Amino acid sequence: MSVLGIDIGGSGIKGAIVDVETGKLLTPRERIPTPENAKPEDVAQVVKTMVEFFHYEGSIGAGFPAVIRNGIALTAANVHKSWIGLDANTLFSSATKCPVSVVNDADAAGIAEMRFGIGRDYPRGVVIFLTIGTGIGSAIFTDGHLVPNTEFGHLEMGGKDAEHRASDAARQEKEMSWKRWAKALNDYLNEIHSLFWPDLIVLGGGISRQAEKFLPFLDVPVKVLPAKLENQAGIIGAALHAAEQGR
């Protein structure tokens, strides 16, 4: 079965058609910049453009950077505040005339990584998956089962949201060296470890491709590994989630 997976991020909206049995992309990945301010109507237009680009009809899965309960966005850290309380399933379904199932972006990426990436080697225990990009997203799995909508990027560190100190956006904005940024990430991972005592922490998002630049600086009493699916995880996971919802 193939499903269009869309990963809505703070800077780009990425999509591809996914074979949900194998987790492989059946098309190249298409990327459209996220409209400025990421307002609902503008984002819905891009999702529609993406569907037209692929000449796609059928079930769609979309990862979105907010808490999503039953398709409704309940937070809006890096997108327009008017998303809060909005039924994203209905908004995207009416824009595309296809059934769309929305899920938190980090949950989506984590689902894919557990099914087709690193999770294959770690099916048991507590795994914390973190996506590090514009913000920090999180997904926690116990024996492969997801607890949805965790928001560990908003843990407070030194009076600030952790994602304002340790995200990739923070690294770039403050022009931090990898070593300096790794120190912030290290503090954050140690905080996560002291609260959840996971068996494994997986780091995903764009930075997973540059792991050799910062992993050597980390000192955390738990195994920390880069994600395997790189920038495809969000797309694949959104498609898997939609397939599981039967939408």
Binding site for ligand BGC (CB under 6 A): 65-67, 75, 77-78, 104-106, 131, 135, 137, 151, 153, 163
Give me the least distance between CB of 1 and ligand BGC, in Å please.
26
Contacts of 13 (CB under 8 A, 6+ apart): 6, 7, 31, 32, 33, 34, 43, 46, 47, 50
Complete DSSP assignment for 7-47: EE-SSEEEEEEEETTTTEESSPPEEEEPPGGG-HHHHHHHH
Backbone angles phi, psi at 181, to 5 degrees: -65, -40
Q: How far is the CB of 107 from ligand BGC (least distance, A)?
A: 8
Nearer to ligand BGC, 15 or 137 (CB): 137
The answer to whether residues 101 and 60 touch, using CB atoms and an 8 Å cutoff, is: yes
For ligand BGC, the closer of residues 88 and 98 by Cβ is 88
Nearer residue to ligand BGC within complex by CB, 162 or 182: 162
Find the shortest distance in angstroms from Cβ 2 to ligand BGC.
25
- Tell me how far, at minimum, the Cβ of 216 lies from ligand BGC, in Å: 25
Strands in 100-222 per DSSP E: 100-104, 126-132, 136-142, 145-147, 156-157, 160-161, 200-204
- Angle, CA of 26, 28 and 29, to the nearest 5°: 110
Cβ proximity of 23 and 79 under 8 Å: no
CA distances from 18 to 6, 103, 128 (A): 10, 16, 24
Instruction: CB nearer to ligand BGC: give 98 or 239.
Output: 239
Considering beta carbons, is residue 59 or 131 the nearer one to ligand BGC? 131
State in angstroms the smallest separation of the CB of 56 from ligand BGC: 24
Bridge partners (DSSP) of residue 132 are 136
Choice between 23 and 137, CB closer to ligand BGC: 137
| Between 89 and 104, CB nearer to ligand BGC | 104
In angstroms, give the least distance from the CB of 19 to ligand BGC: 25
CB atoms within 10 A of CB 230: 14
Shortest Cβ 157–ligand BGC spacing (Å): 14
